[in-house]
Amino acid sequence: PVVWPSATVQQADLDLGVSQTKALNRLLVELGLVVMRDSPNGKRYGRRDRSGRIIEAYGFDLSPLGVRLEEFRAVAEKGRAEREAVRQLRRRVTIARKAIEQIVETAIEVGLEPGAFVREAEEARRLCWRLGKEERSDVLAFGVTRLEDRHGELRQRLESLIAEWRGSAQKDVETDPKGPENRPHQYRYKPDPDPEQDTVSGIEKSSPAPVMSVAAVGKSGLRDGSSGPQTGRREQKPARQDDGTVLRITPDELVRLAPRLRPYLGRSSPAWPDVVEAADWLRHDLGVSKPLWGEACLAMGREQAAIALAIVSARPEGHFRSTPGGYFHGMVARARAGELNLGKSIWGMRSKRDTHGWDQPQ
């Protein structure tokens, strides 16, 4: 087929100038995409018969396009495959970048020194920025391989550091299990005549009636030294002692002290299992991972782990040097070492409540 658009029509349709149109026509001829069929007077024109068939034409012969049709299809398919490869590689870049950032967050969460991990994450971010401007799949593939290798190295380093940290923590609690059978037990804590007094289960066993909050104790006159309600012949103990070490708190009071638990409770008067379940939901808001929550339950017990999480939720944002999850991890570490005293934290929260008067449910 032959077409004969005039130079004016080409310029108008392509929005090009005279020189640009001439240069484009020369390029089409040089590439072998069209063949010029010139008339004796150098003009482009054509004539058709009554049936519409071309009987005379001078202009651009498009027959080379038909001859090379399969070649053009192959080029188009190659371009489509290249674009798909680029899309998949960009997706892998995003996955690798997010995985490296997750490693940094995990290192901070478990209490490791994040400096080296942060530097690696910054380098990965810069590499991702450069790859974002790249359009060639071979260059992208090289960059993605570097990112994924870096992610694998960081993951192995993190796992080895965590294993080393857990191993050192395990050594602290081992009492020479392979030694003599008659080796005396080593006590690393101060003996207490009532070892269950700091546990929720001990409170429930020793208190047939619900334990009163500080506000209730104040109303009953225990603060001024008068005797409180009697249970048989035993005098009811105060809700806390002056040193703040007695972990005597009811679920209702805990919810008042840590109101962020309330949306996750299924009933208005929760029991300890309800509080534990609510804390398991609340941990997502605080950035506490499932493994860390499990370690807390093993180190403290489920009820005290829930109390510790509630204490973290009641802290203001400016209280944490890193994240709430990192703060909670520190509490778990202190619990393993026998240095965690939740009673003092509850004492402080109660004191703030009494001072500011926020003892009503919020």
Helix (H, G, I), strand (E, B) or coil at 239: coil
* List of residues 6+ apart from 6 with CB closer than 8 A: 44
- Do 283 and 164 share a domain, yes or no? no
- Do 275 and 217 share a domain, yes or no? yes
Question: Would 289 be classed as within a structural domain?
Answer: yes
- Do 59 and 87 share a domain, yes or no? no
Q: Are 272 and 264 in contact (CB under 8 A)?
A: no
Question: Would 186 be classed as within a structural domain?
Answer: no
Question: Would 34 be classed as within a structural domain?
Answer: yes
pLDDT score of 127: 86
- Do 102 and 42 share a domain, yes or no? no
Rg from Cα positions in the chain: 39
- Do 51 and 145 share a domain, yes or no? no
- Do 141 and 263 share a domain, yes or no? no
pLDDT score of 83: 92
- Do 334 and 221 share a domain, yes or no? yes
pLDDT score of 234: 42
Question: Would 193 be classed as within a structural domain?
Answer: no
- Do 347 and 206 share a domain, yes or no? yes
Amino acid identity at 346: I
pTM: 0.38
118 φ/ψ sector (left φ>0, alpha ψ -120 to 50, else beta): alpha
pLDDT score of 247: 60
* List of residues 6+ apart from 15 with CB closer than 8 A: none
Q: Of the residues 67, 98, 123, which one is the last residue of a structural domain?
A: 67
- Do 266 and 320 share a domain, yes or no? yes
- Do 127 and 204 share a domain, yes or no? no
Domain that holds residue 102: 72-172
Q: Of the residues 67, 95, 110, which one is the last residue of a structural domain?
A: 67
Question: Would 188 be classed as within a structural domain?
Answer: no
Number of domains in the chain: 3
- Do 208 and 346 share a domain, yes or no? yes
Question: Would 179 be classed as within a structural domain?
Answer: no
Helix (H, G, I), strand (E, B) or coil at 61: strand
Low-confidence ranges of the chain (pLDDT < 70): 168-247, 355-362
Residue with tokens 């393993």: 336
- Do 107 and 247 share a domain, yes or no? no
Question: Would 190 be classed as within a structural domain?
Answer: no
Question: Would 187 be classed as within a structural domain?
Answer: no
**Facing residues of 37 across strands?**
59
pLDDT score of 186: 52
pLDDT score of 20: 92
